[in-house]
Amino acid sequence: MAKRSPAVHAKTRRRLPVGAEVTPEGVHFRVWAPGKTKVELLLEEGSSASPGPQIIALKAERNGYHSAATDLARAGTLYRFRLDGSDRLLPDPASRFQPNGPFGASMVVDPGQFSWSDQSWPGVSLPGQVIYEMHIGTFTPQGSWEAASAELPALKELGVTLLELMPVADFPGRFGWGYDGVNLFAPSRLYGRPDDLQRFVDRAHALGLGVILDVVYNHLGPSGNFLGEFSRHYFSERYRTDWGEALNFDGDQAAPVREFFIANAGYWIDEFHFDGLRIDATQDIFDASPRHLLIDIAQRVRQAGGKRKTLLIAENEAQQVQLIRPVKEGGFGLDALWNDDFHHSAMVALTGHNEAYYTDYLARPQEFVSLAKYAFLYQGQHYRWQGKRRGTPTFGLPRAAFINYLQNHDQIANSGQGLRCHGLTTPGRYRALTALLLLGPGTPMLFQGQEFAATTPFFYFADHPEEVAVPIQRGRTEFLRQFRSLAIPDVQARLPDPGNPATFVSCRLDRMDRQRHAPLYALHRDLLTLRHTDPVFRRVSEMEIDGAVLGEECFVLRYFAGAGEDRLLVVNLGRDLHLDPAPEPLLAPPQQRLWAILWSSEDPHYLGNGTAPLDSEENWIIPGHAAVVLYPIDAVEIDSGSTPPAI
C-alpha cells in the first residue's frame, strides 16, 4: 500500500467545517478527533486517481481538528479514516454518502455537479401551507427518490403545498423510519444517490411544492454510530434522552460538537435546497448554554437559505412556545410547533377512547372551540397523565404557527396495529373531523395516504442486528403497555416485529386505494380547494374566529370576514340536533342576509346522505356526524334556488 504526504492548502475554502470537499486542486479532508495523535486517510484501491490504495497522514490543527488536501482523490473516491494506528477503518463522521451503508467506506461527493433549475424559487413561509408528511421508503413500492418524484404532480393537484420528509440521514439495515440516523450528512443509500435527492427537490420546486426535512439532533442511532471513536466529547453524561446517550451541546469541548450540528442544519438547505427543517423531539436537545443550540441552528438555516424563505418547525412534547417567539423577545426564533392537543382531542372524538396519554382529553365541543381560538389546550394547567403542569401560553402568536393533524407517523404506529384513523371510527365522524382539520385556523398536515384512506397500516419498523433489535422490540412493547387495550397478552402477542421485513413491506402505500376510495379522495381535494380559493378560508389563519357549544357533541365556529361575508363551520359529532329555540348570536346571519350551504361532509359525492338547509322555519336542524360550511347570501337568492359557488 503506497503512502504519500499530502500537499496541505492552508487557505482552502470549505463549505463545511468537516468532511471531504472537492477543490480545484483535488479534495480537502477535515475531521475532528481531539486527543488522537495520528489520523490517517485511506483511499480505496480503484476509486482514486492512483491505481492502488493510498495512505495519507492528516496534519493536526488547533482544537482537535486534523486535515489534508490531496490531488489523488476526486468525486466518487471511496475513503476511510484510521486513528492512532488502529486496525479499525472508520467512515467519515461528516460523510456525504455511504454507498454501502454506515459500516462501509465513505464517498467523496461534489454537490456542484448537479444543475439546479429552481433559481427563481422563492422558498416558503408559513401562512397558507398544507403539509404532507411522507416516508420515502414506503411512499411508493420502489421506495426511491425517482419513484416518489413521479407522484408529486398528484400531490400538487390534491392541494398540498409543502412536503415534510421523515429523516433521510443514513442508518444501518435494509429499512427504518430514519430516526436512528448515524451519518447525519449522508442521504440514505436506500432511496438513491445524493443527486437523486437533489433532483427530487428540484422537481418539487418546479411544481410549486416546498420541501422540508425532518432532522434528529437529540440522539444518534444505536448501531453504526462511530462518532464516539473519534471523540467521547460528542456525547454528554449530564443528560439522558428517551433513546440513549444525549449529545454534548454545553459541556467540555462542546463548541466543535455544536459546530457539527449547526453545519448539518445549513448543509441540507445549501446543498439540497430544502426549504427548512422539522426538528425532532426538541425537549431532548439539552443545552444550558447562554445561547441555546436551536437559536444558532435557526440562524444558520436562514443564512443558508439566503434570499429563499425558510421554515423551521419543532416537535416539542412540553408545548414550549418559547421556541417560536422571536429571539429579541427571549425566544429561539423557530416558526411553528406540532400540536398534539389537537390530535389527542380529535382521536378521543373519533374512537371514544381516552386511555394512556389521551387521559386528559374528553373531546367535548369546548375543546375544539378552544383549539380553534388558542391552539393549545394545555398552557400551564395541571396535566394528570404526567402529574405536573404542561404547556405555555400561546396568546399573541399566529394560529398558523401551530401544526394540526389527525395522523402522523408516531400516532398511527402507536395504535398498536398501525391502523389509520378512518378505520377506527364512523365514516361521518371521520369526514367531519377532516373538515375541521382542513378548514381550521391552524396549519393542517396530512400523513401519506390519508387523502385516499389508505388500507395499508403504518407500523414501527427498523432493521437492526439481533443484539440491538431485541431490546428495541422489548422497549416498543413496553411503551405500548401504557394503553390498557394494548396491554392484554393476546394483543401483545400480535404486535408486529419491527425487524421483520414483512412489517416494512406491509406499510407501502397501495395507489389503487386512490381509485377504490375516490369519494374520500374527493373530500380532501374539495376541502383543500375551498381552503385555497374561498376568499375567507384562504385567510383563515389571520382572521378573527369565535366559537360556541351548541350541544353535547356539537359546536360552531364563526369566521369574521367583514362586509357581510362571514363563514360558519358547524360540526356535529353526535346525533341529529334540533335547536329550537336557538339563542346563540354566532348563528345569526349578517344583517339582511341568510345562511346557505357552501359545503357539506354529507354530500352524496362523499357517500353522505345529503344535507337539508340547517337554518329554516323549524329553526336550526343540524345533522349528526357531519360538518357543514355556511355562507351568507341575499334572501332573494334563496328564493330563486341559487347554488353555491363551484369548488
Catalytic residue IDs: 280, 315
Nearest to 469 by CA among 221, 159, 247, 287: 221
Q: Is the dihedral of CA 163, 166, 171, 173 positive or negative?
A: negative
Using DSSP, state whether 149 is helix, strand or coil.
helix
Residue 200 to residue 85: CA distance in whole angstroms: 41
Q: What DSSP string runs through 422-456?
A: GGGS-HHHHHHHHHHHHHSSSEEEEETTGGGT-SS
Phi-psi region of 306 (alpha: psi -120 to 50; beta: other; left: phi over 0): left
Is residue 391 within 8 A of residue 318, CB to CB? The reply is yes
Burial per residue of 461-478, b for 16 or more beta-carbon CB atoms within 10 angstroms, e otherwise: bbbbeeebbeebbeebbe
Kindly report the backbone phi and psi dihedral angles of residue 61, in degrees, each rounded to the nearest multiple of 5, phi listed first.
-105, -170
List strand residue ranges (DSSP E) for 308-386, in order: 311-314, 336-338, 381-383
Q: Is the dihedral of CA 201, 205, 209, 214 positive or negative?
A: positive
Kindly report the backbone phi and psi dihedral angles of residue 457, in degrees, each rounded to the nearest multiple of 5, phi listed first.
-80, 180
- H runs (alpha helix) in 306-360: 340-351
Residue 450, CB-side half-sphere exposure with 13 Å CA sphere: 26
C-alpha triplet 20, 24, 27: angle, nearest 5°: 20
